Structure 1
């Protein structure tokens, strides 16, 4: 068996051990026959997450599933391996974007105001929590835009507000309209996601206007050089159009790749930014 195959087998074994329990990095390394530092680097390169991040996501996934299935919150927390309720509020709740009890009920208790704005790129649904904008969706079918919002936040209290009729939402609508028109604008965001997703989003927002990066370059930039596909998946699931500029990420050969809001829109925005 060649060395590369042996390494893949060891990394796959490490992942199975993480799926079955909560070994420390040292214990994990000892079980698979690698040094801790080598395991850390190679696991991250192969799976796009460190062993600790992988374990955290596995636990969070277990918690989400149990809550969605109606499990008691306390039982779900302990079954997922958090040990105490405070653990999920310190770490997992930040990734859920809400308390476990609210997640269990599909986001019940979260208040989200939204409106439709006419922008340089057509109609945009802009939704915001008290912390900032959580969704910007583009499209001409208002019913379809609202359906996407409800699918993303199925149990939240959603309130449509006429543009300019809400002191909190109105300035955010203007900021989004400016951003979609290609102007410089400060848009407060409430981005809810995993540690990996946030790394990708941060990297995207550092790409200068008029420039592009490949999925591989973003993966390299965030320290996960073999996670190009994972980066592409994060871009495909971006719910904040233009402001989180996934349109600036292209394939390694320079072709556009995919885009949540359609390739003609991606081409249009990129050309506008290059001219500007």
Structure 2
């Protein structure tokens, strides 16, 4: 990942925040460039490299009408991601991961002596900490400036011993995010993910993997997909506790009204992810 990726994302995030708050007025290129202290030419080039489309086109993917239209079209949650959206995209798809789920009780029985190796990396959406146990991704958490990676990891995996060793997880990080403006081929074999959660949480997280890239689902649709149509509130709680950002795409779940709703790692980051994916799929 380019070492400038985090700074670039921060600049783009500020522009997206302004776009989201003022999409009805369709802010001009000059206004957006001024917000991030760049020339119009430089901002247009930087944004297009990051998103794959122009700021004007990208803003269309952030409107409420786009979100509502996505929900009206429906999301084929039963459709395997292997069969959805792969042709021509050249990007890592979400079901190119292999989930191994354990309940807290099961982990407690076999959790002693486990070591979680981790490192902090850059992405198109800012810095993140990536943790792995025996080569399996156990955590992907986007970091705010004031967050301590070890505090985050300990809260998620309190029984595991921690080892700050970016070199041990670099091979996983290299397969998750593409360089800005460059495609990523699907990995030779699924990325292994180790999830620790209740049986209900594991069902919800597995359902998220069936939302194709560039599509959206509501909390109610996820509840229906797992066979518990009255559990939309509990579904929201489970989604909010997802320990593996991006790969388990909780950012693709929005309110049935079309509002984007909250996101564990910040609403601007969620909007950036949705626009980035929609632009790449539809562009």
What is the TM-score with the length of structure 2 in the denominator?
A: 0.57
Q: Which residue number corresponds to residue 69 of structure 1?
A: none
1:178 aligns with 2:178: yes
Q: What does 1:1-276 align with in structure 2 at a 5 Å threshold?
A: 94-96=102-104, 99-100=107-108, 108-130=112-134, 132-141=136-145, 143-162=147-166, 165-166=167-168, 169-178=169-178, 183=184, 184=186, 186-276=190-280
1:117 and 1:124 in contact (8 A); partners too: yes
SS of equivalent residue, structure 2 residue 139: strand
How much does 1:147 deviate? Answer: 1.1
Q: Which residue number corresponds to residue 42 of structure 2?
A: none
List runs of 5+ in structure 2 lacking aligned partners: 1-100
Deviations 1:65-110 (A, max 9, x none): xxxxxxxxxxxxxxxxxxxxxxxxxxxx9412755456xxxx5411
SS of equivalent residue, structure 1 residue 190: strand
Deviations 1:157-207 (A, max 9, x none): 100113xx33xx221121223399884554321112222111111110110
What is the TM-score with the length of structure 1 in the denominator?
A: 0.58
Change (3 A) 1:141 1:150: farther
Deviations 1:100-156 (A, max 9, x none): 456xxxx54111100011111111100001151010000143752321112222232
SS of equivalent residue, structure 1 residue 178: coil
1:182 and 1:273 in contact (8 A); partners too: no
List runs of 5+ in structure 1 lacking aligned partners: 1-92
Mapped to 2, the partners of 1:198 and 1:99 lie a distance apart of 14
SS of equivalent residue, structure 1 residue 206: coil
SS of equivalent residue, structure 2 residue 195: coil
Q: Give the number of equivalent residue pairs.
A: 176
Q: Which residue number corresponds to residue 16 of structure 2?
A: none
Mapped to 2, the partners of 1:236 and 1:118 lie a distance apart of 22
Q: Which residue number corresponds to residue 83 of structure 2?
A: none
2:107 and 2:196 in contact (8 A); partners too: no
Q: CA RMSD in A?
A: 2.5
Mapped to 2, the partners of 1:142 and 1:114 lie a distance apart of 18
SS of equivalent residue, structure 1 residue 175: helix
Larger helix fraction of residues: 1
